[in-house]
Amino acid sequence: MISVLYVDDEQGLLDIGKIFLEETGDFRVDLMESATAALEHLKTHRYDAIISDYQMPDMDGLAFLREVRKEYGNIPFILFTGRGREDVVILALNNGADFYIQKGGAPKPQFAELAHKVRLSVQRRQAVVALAESERRYRDVVETQTEFICRFLPDGTHVFVNEAYCRYFGKQREEIVGHRFVPGTLPEDRELIHRHIRSLSREHPVAEIEHRVILPDGQIRWQWWSDRAIFDDQGRVAEYQSAGKDITDRKTAEEALKVSEDLYRTIFNTTGAATIITAHNTTILLANAGWETLTGVVREQQENRMSWTVFIDPDDVERLKQYHYARRNDPSSAPGVYECRMIGGDTSVRYCIVNVRMIPGTTNSVVSLVDITARRKAEDELRATYEQLTATEEELRAQYEELDHSQKKIQESERNYRSIIENLQDAFYRTDKEGNIILVSPSFVRAMGYDSIDEIIGKNVAGSFYYHPSDRDEFFRQISASRELKGYRLALKKRDGSKMEVTATSHIYYDEMDRPAGVEGLLHILEENEMRCGPTDSPEGTA
């Protein structure tokens, strides 16, 4: 139900309005007889909309409107007052009134219109609030990502970057958006990046790449990127959308592991790794300090006494034994590096990479373990974040497709509109609210004796086209009162000063805020036989 505060100094009108509005079942109406009392009341009560008279003794409706806008923001406000106050209309709309409705006439249709305008203004306000909230949530999701997110045009001009992207490259958003920003890369990686971008097609629009970048402070870091190409109807790339992250730590770990596999030939060739020499029956023959730290048991209690598998999670033991025995008999028959879960002396569980190498000429093995618990945790977190980013990307794609569809509909509508205007036989015109011509049809140009539209655009109707100066005031008075005129007869002044009799069918048009924006309509040029049907020199015209 919509809550409404109705302010008017006529108690009878307040009572009637409350009855008409509340009988619809959509409204709850509170009444106030003055703007001053209403402002005091608003300090402790909230409403979905306000209806106000203009002429009130202590404070008029415009002053009330200004106070409401100052103190309570964009709450819907409808000015409901007497006829013949076009100056009030303009002031009310300029000060932020949602609608202006004139009193008078039969109560039922009048209050039906008032109810409709209240519903419309409340719905429009709710839509604005909902859109702002949706945009805020979207921004929050994108801006709180730790991954880098950006969108850029084929020439490299960035149209969007999130905060993580700016922070990583040490740039302000305004230094990147609207500019061709290309992070520094190593020469040997540039061709790889170019091939990656060129590989994106309509059939395969998404691809991943890992490469190095040079940061502003000179650091060289590894990055992973997932790039998506967005294509237009002609198959041309319109935009790229990218999500990336720094993988320097992962690359470092992978490279270190690769090196360690080549160098771990004897027990102490690797410092810092948990390394042991085991007998064919898995007994620990020798252990280093890293192994002691990992297991939490001193070496003297292990060597020649314990099997190294007692520190392995029971679910992993059988698999590791199979690998171990298989490699002893045939080193190529089982993997030399694998993962397992280690259970230390304090029962803590650690994820490790196990590297097994047979010692040539013996039945013994070198087993080295690298603790990757932190990396596993980081990978799990990155996986969850990537899934969230994927969902966000799908939402962005849907929004982009919807926007593209809307743009096509707008373009088609504009083409149809242009075609109608250019082929009109009668003369079409449109003015702004000051009376300056902003749009005319070619037929208007020809009828008025001008050579081109450019000679007419910007001219003021009052000073340039009325043959009788009094016609403008009468025309404005009548169209302000009725909002539109049909067959209104008047005389216009052509370019050479001669008089041209026309009938005008015109109306006031409104902007997106429902404020009067100007007048537009059609002019029918009267032939000789038509001019005999009525007066031709009357400045008053006929409605």
Q: Across residues 445-474, what is the average pLDDT?
A: 87
Residues 453 and 503 in one domain: yes
Residues 479 and 355 in one domain: no
- Tens-digit pLDDT profile for residues 78-120: 988 775 567 778 888 888 888 888 877 787 888 888 889 898 9
Q: What is the pLDDT of residue 127?
A: 81
Concatenating the DSSP letter of every residue in 225-244 gives EEEEEEE-TTS-EEEEEEEE
Residues 31 and 127 in one domain: yes
- Which pLDDT band, with edges at 50, 70 and 90, does 539 fall under? very low
CA-based nearest residue to 308, from 250, 262, 347, 366: 366
Q: Across residues 6-32, what is the average pLDDT?
A: 89
- Tens-digit pLDDT profile for residues 173-188: 899 999 998 888 899 9
- Tens-digit pLDDT profile for residues 164-221: 898 889 889 899 999 998 888 899 999 999 999 999 999 999 999 999 999 888 899 9
Identify the residue whose tokens are 């592991």.
257
Residues 40 and 95 in one domain: yes
**Domain membership flag for residue 85:** yes
| Long-range contacts, 120-126 (Cβ 8 Å, 24+) | 121/49, 121/76, 121/77, 121/78, 122/2, 122/48, 122/49, 122/76, 124/76, 124/98, 125/74, 125/75, 125/76
Tokens at residue 114, please?
């008032």
Task: Tell me the average pLDDT of the chain.
Answer: 84
- Tens-digit pLDDT profile for residues 347-398: 778 888 888 787 888 888 888 888 888 888 888 888 888 888 888 888 888 8
Prediction pTM value? 0.31
Q: What is the pLDDT of residue 538?
A: 41
According to DSSP, the residues that pair with 184 across neighbouring strands are 214
Residues 230 and 274 in one domain: no
Phi, psi of 523 (to 5 degrees): -115, 120
According to DSSP, the residues that pair with 44 across neighbouring strands are none
Show the domain range for 443: 424-531
Residues 453 and 489 in one domain: yes
- Tens-digit pLDDT profile for residues 40-54: 999 999 999 999 888
**Domain membership flag for residue 496:** yes
Distance CA(209)–CA(196), nearest Å, equals 7
Q: Across residues 133-157, what is the average pLDDT?
A: 73
**Domain membership flag for residue 498:** yes
Point out the domain boundary residue: 246, 279, 294: 246
Residues 347 and 277 in one domain: yes
Residues 114 and 208 in one domain: no
**Domain membership flag for residue 108:** yes
**Domain membership flag for residue 413:** no
Point out the domain boundary residue: 106, 141, 176: 141
Identify the residue whose tokens are 């001219």.
459
**Domain membership flag for residue 400:** no
Q: What is the pLDDT of residue 87?
A: 74
Q: What is the pLDDT of residue 338?
A: 78
Number of domains in the chain: 4
Point out the domain boundary residue: 345, 371, 397: 371
Q: What is the pLDDT of residue 135?
A: 64
**Domain membership flag for residue 377:** no
What burial letters (b/e) apply to 404-430, b meaning 16+ CB within 10 Å? Answer: eeeeeeeeeeeeeeeeebeeeebbbbb
CB 341 within 8 A of CB 311: no
Residues 11 and 123 in one domain: yes
Residues 134 and 153 in one domain: no
Q: Across residues 328-335, what is the average pLDDT?
A: 61
Question: How far, in Å, are 142, 233, 255, 336, 474 from residue 261 at the CA level?
Answer: 40, 52, 10, 9, 96
CATH number for position 105: 3.40.50.2300
- Tens-digit pLDDT profile for residues 263-292: 544 545 455 688 888 888 889 898 888 888
Phi, psi of 230 (to 5 degrees): -105, 125
Q: What is the pLDDT of residue 271?
A: 59
**Domain membership flag for residue 309:** yes
Q: What is the pLDDT of residue 541?
A: 43
CATH number for position 311: 3.30.450.20
Residues 103 and 162 in one domain: no
Residues 192 and 271 in one domain: no
Identify the residue whose tokens are 């470092």.
252
Residues ≥6 apart with Cβ < 8 Å to 347 = none
